[in-house]
Amino acid sequence: MKKTILAAALAFSLPAMAQTRTPIGHLMDNSGPTSDVGVPYGQGVADTMAWANANNRGRPTNVLGFDYGYQAPRAVSQYQAWSRDRVAAIQGWGTVDTEALVRFVTRDRIPFVSGSYSAALTDAGGRSGRQGVEAAPYNFFYGPSYSDALRAMLLWARDDWRARGQAGAPRYAHMGANHPYPNSPKEAGETLARELGFEVLPAIQFALTPGDYTAQCLTLRSGGAHYAYLGNTAGSNISVLRACQTAGVQVQFLGNVWGMDENAMKAAGTAANGVVFPVRSLAVWGQQAPGMANVQAISRVSDAAGTAYRPVHYIAGVCAAMLMVEAMESAGENGGAMTGERIRNGFYARQNWVPRGFDGVCAPSNFTATDHRGTLAVPLYRARVTGDTATGSVAELVAAGTIRLEPVTTITLDRRADWLGW
Amino acid sequence: METGLLFQLVLNGLIVGALYGVVAMSFVLIYKASQVVNFAQGEFMLIGAWACWWLLTYWQLPFWIGFPVALAFMTVFGVVLQVTVLRPLIGEPVISVIMATVGLSIFFQALMKWMFGVFAQPFPAIFPVERIRIMGLEVQSVYLLSIALSLMIMLGFWWFFNFSKHGLAMRATAFDQQVAQSLGISVPQVFAMSWAISAVVSAVAGVVVGVVSGVSSGLSFYGIKVFPAVILGGLDSVVGAMLGGIIVGVLENLAQYVDSQWLNWGNMTNIAPFYALIIILLIKPYGLFGTKNIERV
Amino acid sequence: MALAPAGEFHASYRADMTIMPTRNSRRALLLGIVLLCFAPLVLGRYELGLLINIGFMGIAALGLNILVGFTGQISIGHAAFFGVGAFLSAYLHERFHIPVILCIPLAGLGSAVVGLVFGLPAARLKGLYLAIATLAAQFILEDFFARAQWFTGGVSGRMTEAVELFGIRFDREESYFYVVLAFTIIMFVMAANLMRTRDGRALIAVRDHYLSAEVMGINLAYYRTLSFAISSFYAGIGGALYAHYLFFVSVEAFNILFSIQFLAMVIIGGLGSVMGSLMGAAFMVLMPEGVQALADMLAGGWIDRTLKLGASISFLREMAIGAAIILFLVFEPDGLAHRWKQIKAYWKLYPFSH
């Protein structure tokens, strides 16, 4: 008797459930030290969720945005509020707060798609055995992890060194702030560099905020580094690039995914010329690809005129949000409830996963229950700036060819078990 | 011992320190004239830099027009600020005045981010020759301009305070407000003038930093570096402020050297001036050139 | 129904020394506390969260008020001591497995010791030099927090646990509210009591005219250092309560802007007023919410479009803090407590007041 009543209640409430909007949390940094890259990424996520709602992709969502200014305690406090309001999933941002929330989202079973690509978040089963890395079964991100991207760039650097015909061991230096986000790939990078035969110089520190870093550049030059990894976001990397250009430092800079984009190229000018950095999408704004039409439709959500230039971070935000949208679609199949576990399982539902309608834009992702390294193929681009970038918008400069993103190569790493989680 | 690197770092420290000295001088100017501690000095730099950038990029003015216009704006800005915010606070305890300038600093930092966004913006190219080589160190031409400007400002201050009527009036007001008033010096005018000059001088420093590393919110952090400089040099000594700024600049770079060679902590550049500040406060609280305030109980 | 006494007539020493001036004001206070005890039944989580914030910020602001308002010192490093309390409480619980309810007072004591260390050299400095020294202390302690992995978890921060008493976990707003309420009442009563003791009067003498105080035999250095220690004790308690509310502490929270917010609370609330600390804390906690509500109200309108309010809400919040500080200093330099006293006096004399 009870069962029939329950079944009847469920049957009646299913349409109702389908109509109710699922609350989704969205943490952004629009005002803090990483806002220069947080603004376009957050915009991409927000626009995509709105577009998905309008076009009946996934399930209807109610996105609760919160700008936490890159201060982890504010993000944690907002999370506490959200988890009590029963959000189904969260689009996150920074490394400190994402890593702080790992335990919470695991306990509360809320999938968390972060803007942080820290490798510690990929160890879903907690089996890597790395110290300080906990199981993170509910953490996902779109793109290669910082460590994998750095490994890919080091492999490229070794080939580049050989191609240049240089003798001796190349020297590598890690540069970044003393902060979890730049520190995340430091150990992995330095270890691989040693394995590849690089001479690893002591790491050089510079803050996440813009400033004068001539002293650091002089130290870099005196150390004789050939390759230097810039671990911060674009804002402070620009200061370093300009200072090092002034100081006449001849180093091949390797950026991280957040360290270089079109806005940074405009701000840094010719100092950014030649920086090699990973790009998470298969195409950049303005290139032709089957999925680019949908990206442009998404862009029109916040830019009706269609004139804005969307940097690489915007497109990455689009892909990250689409992953969550399609995971929710899988979770909601057959009238399933929109619970955290079902959404998480939705991430495992597809292989070589490119969200529908975004071919050629979003790179394929593969998530498994023990390994949340979505992609191990790292497309490397080189920033090309050939002229004065002070006047003109980014769109105009790209159209004129003063700013260019030149594809270099794509390095595909092996899915090594001993590289999981760090 | 890498003497080459050490030498270059010291040279860099001198150049950057000259900039700190300029900002410290404007801080000391306000303190000497009106006994107000200006926590918003960094924001003056920021506002001056953004104003000049805006004139150069939006209005397409050449630098030799845009820069004086920006300075004129900063003069007016300094006077308006003094009249609206600081004048009602004359006579209040020092904590209130400090908090007012702190409130100004928060307000203007956020206002600049709101008006101009969070991205660092580059200045248009100003000099035909971007870099000049001095003794093995490549220096941006604008830094040489800044050293020239700092020397000019120092000379100007020296002449102003010793030989001009207004400068003497300012010194008199700093020494004893009531006597100065009784002699016919308009104390509010002196205050307003000191703020205007300080704003202009800070704006010069702000533009220099903006040309070198782009205009961004990080400029206001220079305002915090002012404190070690003025403590080292003495709060009421203009010459001391300049020297204090140079010492802080050199100290930062020496700390970077020590850090990179031996310690590898990575943060000494930022924190060394504050350790020096504490030490100086313990042994020589009035700085190198400040006037001693001896109390006998 | 007088909340303020009609005049100064005391028949006994005890009457002269009471904290609450009239019988009715004492009853009003007790009634207020009783009503607050019922708050979790009536208010939602969000409002309770705000009240909890007001609670521990008020405790820390009270500590700063003792230092700045009652002793006349300046401290721009209060957030650092708040942070010491937060980290210490988390550390003591994790390392030594002391029950959290004991960790909080111990963290306060630890913070007081750190305050003592910084207070000793500060006792020799006055006015502006003291302000700058505390500013330097703020940066140095912040740097220490970032580097001391063993203590603070470095830049990654550290997780904490909830207060547990008799098997009940106070990990929700409804239950933690009572913990914070209890601590707030205790700390505020302690502070009010301090001000009527000999030491409290000595602190006020140090503020008002330190030369005369020294002449009268009050040891300036001792009382200045004591004031630093007491203020850090309060800051540490506030920090520990904060840590066990958020279950996460990281160094980024304890920056210079946070120190400035404490100073703003003290100034807006009223220097030298125990009640003013709570009012100032309430103002500073509620004002960002007010700004947010205003921006939400204007969202979509023409003001929002022209000024891009929606995207810049964080900037507006900071601007509001800065503007509030300035406006209060210009128009209401004695703070909200003074304004409240004026209102009470008006009603006391009504209809004869002018």
DSSP H or E run through A268: helix A262-268
Q: Considering the domain boundaries, does residue B88 fall inside one?
A: yes
Check if B139 contacts A (Cβ < 8 Å).
Answer: yes
- What residues have CB less than 8 Å from C334, skipping those under 6 apart? C270, C271
Which of the two residues, A412 and C2, has the higher pLDDT score? A412
pLDDT above 80: residue C257: yes
How far apart are the CA of A184 and the nearest CA of chain B, in angstroms? 16
pLDDT above 60: residue A5: no
What mean pLDDT, rounded, does chain B reach?
A: 83
Q: Could you tell me whether strands C248-249 and C158-159 are parallel, antiparallel, or unpaired per DSSP bridges?
A: antiparallel
CB pairs under 8 A between A and B: 111
Q: Note whether A279 and A302 are same-domain residues.
A: no
- Reported as a single tens digit per residue, the pLDDT across B102-122 is 899 999 988 998 888 777 777
Q: Considering the domain boundaries, does residue C337 fall inside one?
A: yes
Per-residue confidence (pLDDT) for residue A41, from 0 to 100: 93
How far apart are the CA of B106 and the nearest CA of chain A, in angstroms? 14
The number of folded domains in chain C is: 1
Cis peptide before C351 (omega within 30 of 0): yes
Per-residue confidence (pLDDT) for residue B213, from 0 to 100: 73
> Three-state SS for C55?
helix
Q: Considering the domain boundaries, does residue A361 fall inside one?
A: no
Residue of B nearest to A247 (CA): B138
The number of folded domains in chain A is: 2
Question: Which residues in C42-73 are b (16+ Cβ under 10 Å) and which e?
Answer: ebeeeebbbbbbbbbbbbbbbbbbbbbbbbbb
Containing structural domain, residue A23: 2-144+295-347
Quote the percentage of chain B above a pLDDT of 90. Answer: 16
- What residues have CB less than 8 Å from A372, skipping those under 6 apart? A121, A122, A123, A124, A136, A139, A140, A141
Per-residue confidence (pLDDT) for residue B1, from 0 to 100: 59
Quote the percentage of chain B above a pLDDT of 70. Answer: 94
Residue to test with chain C: of B38, B90, B274, most C Cβ within 10 A: B274
What's the average model confidence in pLDDT over A291-320? Answer: 88
- Reported as a single tens digit per residue, the pLDDT across A235-268 is 788 888 988 887 788 899 999 989 888 888 888 8
The span from the CA of B217 to the CA of A31, in Å, is 11
Per-residue confidence (pLDDT) for residue C33, from 0 to 100: 92
Q: Considering the domain boundaries, does residue A353 fall inside one?
A: no
Residue of C nearest to B35 (CA): C128
The span from the CA of A343 to the CA of A24, in Å, is 12
Q: Note whether A213 and A89 are same-domain residues.
A: no
Quote the percentage of chain A above a pLDDT of 90. Answer: 24
Per-residue confidence (pLDDT) for residue C308, from 0 to 100: 67
Domain with residue C275: its CATH number is 1.10.3470
Check if A204 contacts B (Cβ < 8 Å).
Answer: yes
Per-residue confidence (pLDDT) for residue C112, from 0 to 100: 95
Q: Do B285 and C125 touch (CB under 8 A)?
A: yes
Check if A100 contacts C (Cβ < 8 Å).
Answer: yes
What mean pLDDT, rounded, does chain C reach?
A: 86
Containing structural domain, residue B161: 14-216
Strands (E), A372-417: 377-385, 403-412
Say which amino acid occupies B233: G
Question: Which residues from chain A sit within 8 angstroms of residue B124, using beta carbons?
Answer: 388, 390-391
Per-residue confidence (pLDDT) for residue A157, from 0 to 100: 92
- What residues have CB less than 8 Å from A59, skipping those under 6 apart? A18, A22, A328, A329, A331, A332, A338
Residue C89 contacts residue C107 (beta carbons within 8 Å): yes
Q: Considering the domain boundaries, does residue C304 fall inside one?
A: yes
What's the average model confidence in pLDDT over A303-315? Answer: 86
Which pair of tokens denotes residue C257? 């802007």
Q: Do B274 and C139 touch (CB under 8 A)?
A: yes
How would residue A9 be classed by pLDDT, with cut points 50, 70 and 90? very low
Q: What angle do CA A109, A111, A113 make, to 5 degrees?
A: 155
Containing structural domain, residue C232: 42-349
Q: Considering the domain boundaries, does residue B104 fall inside one?
A: yes
Per-residue confidence (pLDDT) for residue A18, from 0 to 100: 45
Question: Which residues from chain A sit within 8 angstroms of residue C249, using beta carbons?
Answer: 73
Q: Considering the domain boundaries, does residue B165 fall inside one?
A: yes
Check if C248 contacts A (Cβ < 8 Å).
Answer: yes
Question: In whole angstroms, what separates CA C100 from the centre of its chain?
Answer: 21
pLDDT above 70: residue C309: no
Most confident region among A82-86, A125-129, A238-242 by mean pLDDT: A238-242
How would residue A392 be classed by pLDDT, with cut points 50, 70 and 90? confident
pLDDT above 70: residue A176: yes
Residue A291 contacts residue A51 (beta carbons within 8 Å): no
What's the average model confidence in pLDDT over A190-195? Answer: 91
Q: How far is CA A5 from CA A2, A14, A336, B127, in A?
A: 5, 14, 19, 82
Q: Considering the domain boundaries, does residue C244 fall inside one?
A: yes
- Reported as a single tens digit per residue, the pLDDT across C258-293 is 999 999 999 999 988 899 999 999 999 998 888 888
Which pair of tokens denotes residue C217? 């035999």
Q: What is the ipTM of this complex?
A: 0.83
Lowest mean pLDDT across A143-157, C245-259, C269-283: C245-259
Q: Considering the domain boundaries, does residue C15 fall inside one?
A: no
Q: Considering the domain boundaries, does residue C235 fall inside one?
A: yes
Residue C83 contacts residue C141 (beta carbons within 8 Å): yes
Check if A203 contacts B (Cβ < 8 Å).
Answer: yes
Which of the two residues, A223 and C300, has the higher pLDDT score? A223
Lowest mean pLDDT across A324-333, C7-16, C178-187, C195-204: C7-16
Residue of C nearest to B105 (CA): C322
pLDDT above 60: residue A141: yes
pLDDT above 50: residue C315: yes
Q: Considering the domain boundaries, does residue B50 fall inside one?
A: yes
Check if C181 contacts B (Cβ < 8 Å).
Answer: no
Of A30, A73, A178, the CB nearest to C248: A73
DSSP H or E run through A329: helix A312-332
Per-residue confidence (pLDDT) for residue B294, from 0 to 100: 52
How far apart are the CA of C263 and the nearest CA of chain B, in angstroms? 8
Q: Considering the domain boundaries, does residue A235 fall inside one?
A: yes
- Reported as a single tens digit per residue, the pLDDT across B193-209 is 989 999 998 998 888 88
Strands (E), A177-306: 199-200, 204-205, 227-230, 252-255, 276-278
Lowest mean pLDDT across A171-175, A350-354, B128-132: B128-132
Q: Could you tell me whether strands A276-278 and A377-385 are parallel, antiparallel, or unpaired per DSSP bridges?
A: antiparallel
Per-residue confidence (pLDDT) for residue A13, from 0 to 100: 45
Backbone angles phi, psi at A60, to 5 degrees: -60, 130
Of C146, C159, C249, the CB nearest to A103: C159
Question: Which residues from chain A sit within 8 angstroms of residue B121, using beta carbons?
Answer: 267
Q: Note whether A180 and A243 are same-domain residues.
A: yes
The span from the CA of C267 to the CA of C329, in Å, is 8
Q: Considering the domain boundaries, does residue C115 fall inside one?
A: yes
Check if A26 contacts B (Cβ < 8 Å).
Answer: no
Which of the two residues, A306 and A129, has the higher pLDDT score? A306
Question: Which DSSP state fits A353?
Answer: B
Of C143, C263, C315, the CB nearest to B99: C263
Per-residue confidence (pLDDT) for residue C15, from 0 to 100: 82
pLDDT above 90: residue A15: no
What's the average model confidence in pLDDT over A296-313? Answer: 87
Q: Do C322 and B99 touch (CB under 8 A)?
A: no
DSSP H or E run through A317: helix A312-332
- Reported as a single tens digit per residue, the pLDDT across B197-247 is 999 989 988 888 888 777 888 787 788 888 889 888 888 788 888 899 999
The number of folded domains in chain B is: 1
What's the average model confidence in pLDDT over C232-244? Answer: 94
Per-residue confidence (pLDDT) for residue A1, from 0 to 100: 52
- Reported as a single tens digit per residue, the pLDDT across B63-94 is 888 899 999 999 999 999 989 988 888 777 77
How far apart are the CA of B261 and the nearest CA of chain A, in angstroms? 9
- Between positions 134 and 153 of C, the ones with CB within 8 A of B are 135-137, 139-140, 143, 146-147
Q: Considering the domain boundaries, does residue B227 fall inside one?
A: no
